[in-house]
Amino acid sequence: MDLAYSPEQLAFRQEVRQWIQDAMPAPIRAKAEGGGHFEHEEQMEWHRILFRKGWVAPHWPKEVGGTGWDIGRRHIFGEELVRANAPQLSPFGLTMVGPLLIQFGTPEQKQRFLPRILSGEEVWCQGYSEPNAGSDLASLQLRAEKDGTDYVLNGQKTWTTYAQYADWIFLLARTDASGKKQEGITFILADVKHTPGITVKPFLTTGGTYAFSETWFQNARVPQTNRVGPENGGWTMAKALLAHERTGIGGIAESKRWLQLCKRIARETPVGEGSLFDDRSFRERIARLEMRLRSLELLQLRTLAAAQVGRAPGPESSILKLVGTEIQQESTELCMDAMGHDALGWLDSPPEVLPAIEQGVASSFNYLRAATIYGGSNEIQRNIIAKQILRLPTL
């Protein structure tokens, strides 16, 4: 793989950088420059701007709304979005259920859902986790029982990220409890906003934001035509979708931004006659993280290259998730260490107390404690790597 950028790619990077600069509304740009937290409406405003440009789903096939970019351009585009601190788009439609529908959906499902995911007309959330079936996903208990042409749903989901904003939810439900627990699960799409019997209650996280919700289903009726894949074949759908999720959950560009912020804070923090950045042990911590991050980036590029020639993400996505989330946590911890007592500041700290660029650090540090749990805990990822990549025996 040639890792040097060509003149055409460098020109493309400049084109993307200039477009972001011109297209980003002033209020969003001001918040981006300050490192602030973006609300849902700001994320959706940016989503619609990217959609009008045709750049909202670079990883989708061109015939269903993608850009047709090669791996290099997609990587550059992602880097420039993070470099500009642009609002992160909701991944549940664009990165998860969208690619799954492209892979497994019926023609009717593709026609119904994909255009609305692209435009941002419909927002999605994920209904996987349950109160007693988190990492052990196959132990889920939410039931889906056939009644006429419908499934009737009863049960509860938890940790449903941003369900309070969602129009639709994709979920796993138990349709057969007689065999192996992985064999009786079905993948279903449900209209959150217009289905009687679905209740969403958001709750506050330690990051100071309402990122998660509890979601209840009480005799909620969903058409059987909303099933993706075969009945009792949801485990295959679940694994395919999680592979898409884990490929993008590593947060490599985000960790690069955190390390840049670490360096900036360290250079501006006086220590003796120099700065914290002159401290050898601190520089070594940065260097170790940068080397791990670079190695992970090369793996991500290899995964993207395979996807470009039609290979769905495989078990290597577990490495991206495992290592990527550890680096995210260590990067924000390093920022907190560099900030010293300023790390006690919060999102609403006045700028004369805490520089705007540092106001989101403590909140992100707290929120990212969940990164090694969500998307399939890192303990589960180690099991996948051991079995499917290293071929280690099961004890």
Tell me which residues are annotated as active site: 245
Give the span between the Cα atoms of 199 and 173, in whole angstroms. 16
19 vs 217: CA distance, rounded Å:
44
* Burial tier of 201 (Cβ tally within 10 Å: 0-12, 13-18, 19+): exposed
Instruction: Tell me the two tokens of residue 67.
Output: 């850009």
Q: How far apart are the first and last CA of the chain?
A: 38
Environment class of 259 (CB within 10 Å of its CB; exposed 0-12, middle 13-18, buried 19+): buried
Instruction: Report how far residue 257's alpha carbon sits from residue 79's, in angstroms, rounded to the nearest whole number.
Output: 10
Burial of 293 (C-beta count, 10 Å sphere; 0-12/13-18/19+): buried
Q: How many residues does the chain have?
A: 395
Q: What is the DSSP code string of 22-37?
A: HHS-HHHHHHHHTTPP
